[in-house]
Structure 1
Amino acid sequence: MNDRPENDKGLRRKNRLFMAGLFGLVFGMVGLAYASVPLYALFCQVTGFGGTTQRADAAPARQVDRVIKVRFNADVNQSLPWRFKPEQKELTVKLGEMGLAAYQAANRTDRATVGTALYNVTPDKVGKYFNKIECFCFTEQVLEPGQSVDMPVAFFVDPALADDPAMEDVTTITLSYTFFRAKDETQVLAQHATQAAGAKGTGTTAN
């Protein structure tokens, strides 16, 4: 008796199961890749991994006499025609004390441009203790042709740092920013123009 048809059916069934499993694996990997971006960002925010800083609404009531020197660094990606620099080289603050610094950015072209800032602190391990209350890095920044602006940063270093034995050697923290051209620049400029036109019509000034 010839059982080849049965064998062929079994082989085709195995092939279909294999292909279904393969497609499931591919789609699962794609989904994981998309999900990993916000998950990675959340992980960095919670742990301070890679020097990722934290956000806070206000400085804590508690202060510690231990002082930290905070240095400021500025860079601009070549895709963005801006000048960008800190207005002070460094500040010395107590743990828990709010510090206020500023950067200056200038658009060197004759057209409006949009920048977005990436940031971190070094050494990386202090990221979970470095908190920003106010920062230009929270939103995209629009600069008109030739415009120059001051960009404030309000921050504090969590006094809990003093209770962490791994932080005993930390005396200096460097806060670094790098501005890049915003990927959605066209849409942002269109929205900005609409808001400016609306503000002009009502006699107010758009930010």
Structure 2
Amino acid sequence: MSTAPLQQKNRRIAILFAVVALGMLGLGYAAVPLYQMFCSVTGFGGTTQRATQGDADLASRFARSAGGTDISVRFDANVERGMPWDFAPVQVKDTVTIGQRDMAIFTARNNSDRPITGTATFNVEPEQTGAYFNKVQCFCFTEQTLQPGQQVRMPVLYYIDPAILDDENAKDVEQITLSYTFHEAEDPTS
């Protein structure tokens, strides 16, 4: 066998491996956004759903016609280590009717001498209920900037989707915990 066909074969294999390596690198960079998209669509890992006012109205009509089943919702609030904010729910626990809109209020106070912009991450426990916990309005949808010493009240308008009653893994859940953690937002200028 001459060396020309062997070199051509080696070159094809090298190009194939380079394409595979670049593809794997691309998937590595795309993994985080793809995972976040997957979680937001499916509720995986306790990720809550984002709902419209129309979705909430439809769930509310269903809840009234179904007679109403109540569930307990517990609210948890944290700040990352070193962030000089106080952050807490006004009411730690509430009993809500599945399908009915409800509102939770959180307070945040900037204890520093400088403006701080924070962003909230959130999850729901138990995990299997994340697909049914729908937020219509939430402070977690945008960054929050608090001036030195400023205290604000931040509402969350939400409902529990009545479909939770048909899910074998979630229908017997008696309490859902909605947990937030505020992180200082990255400074885009640095």
By the TM > 0.5 criterion, same fold?
yes
Residue 158, structure 1, aligned to residue 161, structure 2? yes
**Residue 164 of structure 1, CA deviation:** 2.1
1:142 is matched with which residue?
A: 145
- The 1:168/1:20 distance shift into structure 2, 3 A limit, reads same
**Residue 148 of structure 1, CA deviation:** 1.2
In structure 1, what is the Cα distance between the partners aligned to 2:97 and 2:163? 12
In structure 1, what is the Cα distance between the partners aligned to 2:110 and 2:22? 43
Give per-residue Cα distances to partners, 1:39-78, cap 9 Å, x unaligned.
2222212211000110111222221421000000011112
2:71 to 68, 73, 78: 68
2:173 to 167, 170, 174: 170
Residue 44, structure 1, aligned to residue 47, structure 2? no
Tell me, yes or no, if the aligned pair for 1:79 and 1:180 is still in contact at 8 Å: no
Residue 54, structure 1, aligned to residue 49, structure 2? yes
Give per-residue Cα distances to partners, 1:18-50, cap 9 Å, x unaligned.
321222112101221233333222221221100
Q: Percent identity?
A: 49
Structure 1: unaligned runs, 5 residues or longer: 188-207
Q: Residue type of the partner of 1:117? A: A
Tell me, yes or no, if the aligned pair for 1:106 and 1:143 is still in contact at 8 Å: yes
Superposition pairs for residues 189-200 of structure 1, below 5 Å? none
In structure 2, what is the Cα distance between the partners aligned to 1:56 and 1:168? 21
Residue 28, structure 1, aligned to residue 23, structure 2? yes
**Residue 174 of structure 1, CA deviation:** 0.2
Q: Residue type of the partner of 1:146? A: G
2:183 is matched with which residue?
A: 180
TM-score, scaled relative to structure 1: 0.81
In structure 1, what is the Cα distance between the partners aligned to 2:111 and 2:23? 45
Superposition pairs for residues 97-112 of structure 1, below 5 Å? 97-112=100-115
2:81 is matched with which residue?
A: 78
The DSSP-based 3-state class of the residue aligned with 1:166 is coil
Give per-residue Cα distances to partners, 1:183-205, cap 9 Å, x unaligned.
2x345xxxxxxxxxxxxxxxxxx
Give per-residue Cα distances to partners, 1:122-163, cap 9 Å, x unaligned.
000001110001100001111111211111101000111122
Q: Residue type of the partner of 2:176? A: I
Pairs aligned (count): 181
Tell me, yes or no, if the aligned pair for 1:100 and 1:155 is still in contact at 8 Å: yes
In structure 2, what is the Cα distance between the partners aligned to 1:177 and 1:157? 17
**Residue 101 of structure 1, CA deviation:** 0.7
The DSSP-based 3-state class of the residue aligned with 2:17 is helix
In structure 2, what is the Cα distance between the partners aligned to 1:94 and 1:147? 34
2:90 is matched with which residue?
A: 87
1:200 is matched with which residue?
A: none
In structure 2, what is the Cα distance between the partners aligned to 1:15 and 1:111? 61
Superposition pairs for residues 100-139 of structure 1, below 5 Å? 100-139=103-142
CA RMSD of superposed structures (Å): 1.7
